[in-house]
Copies of this chain bind each other. A is one copy, B any other.
Amino acid sequence: MDSVTANSVATTTTGTFHFASRLHAAVRAKGTAALVGLDPRLDWLPPDVLTHARDLHDDPIARAAAAFEEFCVRLIDVVAPLVPAVKPQAAFFEELGADGCLALARVIRYARQAGLIVICDAKRGDIGTTAEAYAKAYLAGADPLAAPWQADALTVNPYLGKDTLEPFVKVAVERGAGIYVLVKTSNPGSASFQDRVADGQTIYRHVAQVVEDLAAQTAENGYGCVGAVVGATYPQELVELRAAMPHAPLLVPGYGSQGGAAADVAAAFASEGLGALINNSRGINFAYRTGTFAEQFGPRQWEAASEAATKQMIADLAMHAVKR
């Protein structure tokens, strides 16, 4: 970490440059830590979005990419007044090839212009200069023009080792960006390797220790630009990992559709609703398709359904999750 000169860069523009400070300013401004995933899935897009795309393009891939972009842009219009941040899922865009990659770039740019913090969920990881190339591709940080995908933060996979996280941290520090390292993921099979006990600790705790060290080294106002992904579906591990990584902002997936409840994610917050973002993707993106919001709104009012679902989540977190 010799090359990471966190303090020299970060403290020159306190609050407007460092990722965690920008993130927490946004959380305070919106009064919630709700994070909305942007997960466009072609089969589930509302009919009006599909109709518009059909009018624009003959090519089915270009059509799908246009539909993804319109869906995400309209969803951003709905949630931008309500939440501090969004998390586009890169995989769904990549499935459409280069057209999808361009749509992802446009969606991220639109979200930034709407004042949102953008966490690109692409789970990248590689060694040396290759890791640095990924970092430079996605981590724009404080200056949106610094990278082709103008994200504030990127999710990163730690399997290759600590030395492979450092190029991401270096770029994050330089640009006022952040990374969220996968520590304990929300899927049922995350135990396969993450829960193995080595030298008296689970692998996810070993990863957490590396994350905490990097977070502490890059901290401003108590939080580093290196955070951790910890699934809401494992509430006990969430308690353990919040304590193990006091300097790391957490990204907590698994709330809602995957089964995590607001009470489960309460442990993610360090204090006053700071230190964590709670993600909901499907439950907000496709609120119009299931449950009470489907009955109340239906496909023609899908934006109203997404708005209601977002407000419900915010109220749920305020009532059950945020420590006072």
- Interface 9-residue window, one of A78-86, A181-189, A215-223, A263-271: A181-189
> B126, A194: Cβ atoms under 8 Å?
no
The verdict on A89 contacting chain B, using a C-beta distance below 8 Å, is: yes
State which of B89, B101, B126, B138 has its C-beta within 8 Å of the C-beta of A98.
Answer: B101
Interface residues on A, range: 35 or more
Closest partner residue, chain B, to A130 (CB atom): B91
If A94-B137, A125-B157, A133-B94 touch, whether A193 touches B189 (CB-CB below 8 Å) is no
Which chain A residues (250-301) contact chain B, with CB distance < 8 Å?
none
State which of B92, B105, B197 has its C-beta within 8 Å of the C-beta of A199.
Answer: B197
> Measured between C-beta atoms, what is the minimum distance from A2 to chain B in Å?
14
If A94-B133, A137-B91 touch, whether A189 touches B206 (CB-CB below 8 Å) is no
If A194-B159, A197-B199, A203-B196 touch, whether A186 touches B127 (CB-CB below 8 Å) is yes
Q: Determine the distance from Cα of A26 to Cα of B276 in the docked complex, in whole angstroms.
A: 50
Q: Determine the distance from Cα of A149 to Cα of B100 in the docked complex, in whole angstroms.
A: 12
> B91, A97: Cβ atoms under 8 Å?
no
The verdict on A30 contacting chain B, using a C-beta distance below 8 Å, is: no
Q: Determine the distance from Cα of A138 to Cα of B101 in the docked complex, in whole angstroms.
A: 13
> A187, B164: Cβ atoms under 8 Å?
yes
Which chain A residues (115-173) contact chain B, with CB distance < 8 Å?
123-131, 133-134, 136-138, 148-149, 157-164
> A190, B101: Cβ atoms under 8 Å?
no
Residues of chain B contacted by A157 (CB below 8 angstroms): 123, 125, 157, 159-160
Residues of chain B contacted by A138 (CB below 8 angstroms): 94
> A191, B161: Cβ atoms under 8 Å?
yes
The verdict on A48 contacting chain B, using a C-beta distance below 8 Å, is: no
Closest partner residue, chain B, to A253 (CB atom): B127
Residues of chain B contacted by A91 (CB below 8 angstroms): 124, 126, 130-131, 133-134, 137
Closest partner residue, chain B, to A207 (CB atom): B193
> Measured between C-beta atoms, what is the minimum distance from A156 to chain B in Å?
10
Q: Determine the distance from Cα of A35 to Cα of B228 in the docked complex, in whole angstroms.
A: 35
> A161, B127: Cβ atoms under 8 Å?
no
> Measured between C-beta atoms, what is the minimum distance from A228 to chain B in Å?
13
> Measured between C-beta atoms, what is the minimum distance from A290 to chain B in Å?
16
The verdict on A13 contacting chain B, using a C-beta distance below 8 Å, is: no
> Measured between C-beta atoms, what is the minimum distance from A101 to chain B in Å?
4
Q: Determine the distance from Cα of A26 to Cα of B158 in the docked complex, in whole angstroms.
A: 34
State which of B61, B162, B190 has its C-beta within 8 Å of the C-beta of A160.
Answer: B190
Provide the A204-215 mask, 1 if CB < 8 A to any CB of B, else 0.
001100100000
Report 14 cross-chain contacts, Cβ distance below 8 Å, ordered by A residue: A41-B129, A91-B124, A91-B131, A92-B130, A95-B133, A98-B148, A100-B148, A123-B124, A127-B186, A159-B182, A159-B194, A161-B187, A163-B187, A196-B206
Known interface pairs A41-B129, A91-B126, A158-B193; 7 further A-B residue pairs with C-beta atoms within 8 A, sorted by A's residue number: A91-B133, A158-B192, A159-B194, A160-B182, A160-B190, A161-B193, A164-B187
In the A-B complex, the 6 residue pairs with the smallest Cβ-Cβ separation, listed nearest first, are A97-B148, A163-B189, A196-B198, A161-B189, A161-B192, A98-B102
